[in-house]
Chain A
């Protein structure tokens, strides 16, 4: 057993109650078929469907009642 750990570093992270974090460069097709390219190394994609800047998360999920936030 090594003392030097190997860390988990997933490319996709589902944040409880919040967005999906995406690491790396991606092109996202939204529900209307429009394409959006990521511009930063880590991007937050809206999962609550209430963002004013979809497909990106803009923090709006924090204003929703808990039953409307993504799990």
Chain B
């Protein structure tokens, strides 16, 4: 089901989406009245390219009016992300080994940690809240990165597939990471349908998801997409262990801890592949995208920081 509109733009666009395939009337769409209105609109437009919505005709994905709205929102989103990167970027230097540099860049970024709070202090309601929010991505885990595969030179492509093969369960549907997460959700008593909690999630979650789709769907942004992947994988093993320990501390269902335990080990592999092989082989052939790799990595870390700030403040945790 399409999410609830969050303003005049999403209301108008969702109405247009539902009207397809009726005879096209000239459809005009108002300006968004705020970032949530824009973000939920873009999320729904992107979703047409993933799993769609039951009540929506499948031709909506390539409707030119809707694509025009999507493009307008993408330009605005990318502009904002790049502005944050430009404000931050001067701080880091580069040496000669690309892999070492990228690992160091990611390690040097410090933000507040949700995982540490979950490990030691969070209560069950807070953890459930976090899982609802994370479900928007984890139920389509790795899908945004799958768009990037055909855009890559040979060695980077092979390395990305080595990683993705693992994300998609090495051919076993029971081991698909998105499926492991669904299993965990069910075990802790949450809904498992794709997008089930979309109406409850904050702007920060919509932006995380939209950013991955933006970077995945534009060939031009392949460097950013893979930099984002590298930062995501390289900040996963240790936090996954903390999340798993937090779930165990609260006596929550072992299926959910199992998802995080799998990521402790898998992402210890994935971070090496993502940084050294996937990104490393890409920039070796296409050095002109190096800066975008860093832009993508920074953006991943920055968006997660913004989510952590929001939730820790909401939960009354002093900084």
Contact = CB atoms under 8 A, between A and B. Distances in A.
Interface string B150-193: 00001100100010011000100000000000000000000000
Contacts of B170: 40-41
Interface in B237-267: 237-238, 241, 264-267
A59 B238 CA distance: 6
A19 B268 contact: yes
Contacts of B269: 19, 21, 40, 42-44, 57
B166 A58 contact: no
A16 B100 contact: yes
B interface, over-half SS: helix
Contacts of B42: none
Contacts of B100: 16-17
A60 B162 CA distance: 23
Contact of A58 (B103, B154, B158, B241): B241
Residue picked from B100, B103, B170, B272, most chain A C-beta under 10 Å:
B272
B237 A59 contact: yes
B162 A62 contact: no
A8 to B, nearest CB: 9
A interface, over-half SS: loop
Contacts of A7: 154-155, 158
A9 B155 CA distance: 9
A53 interface: yes
Interface size class of B (residues with CB under 8 A): 20 to 34
Residue picked from B162, B165, B268, B271, most chain A C-beta under 10 Å:
B268
B272 A44 contact: yes
B164 to A, nearest CB: 11
B317 interface: no
A53 B107 contact: no
A24 B236 CA distance: 23
B222 interface: no
Contacts of B165: 41
B268 A56 contact: yes
A15 B97 CA distance: 12
26 contacts: A7-B154, A7-B158, A9-B158, A16-B100, A17-B100, A19-B268, A19-B272, A21-B272, A40-B166, A40-B170, A40-B266, A41-B170, A42-B166, A42-B273, A43-B269, A44-B269, A44-B272, A52-B241, A53-B264, A56-B265, A56-B268, A57-B237, A58-B238, A58-B268, A59-B237, A59-B238
Given A19-B269, A40-B166, A59-B238, 15 more contacts: A13-B272, A15-B276, A16-B100, A21-B273, A40-B266, A40-B269, A41-B166, A42-B269, A42-B273, A57-B237, A58-B237, A58-B238, A58-B265, A59-B264, A63-B238
Closest 10 pairs between A and B when the two form their complex, measured CB to CB: A59-B237, A57-B268, A44-B269, A44-B268, A59-B238, A58-B264, A15-B272, A56-B265, A59-B268, A42-B269
Interface of B: 97, 99-100, 103, 107, 154-155, 158, 162, 165-166, 170, 237-238, 241, 264-269, 271-273, 276
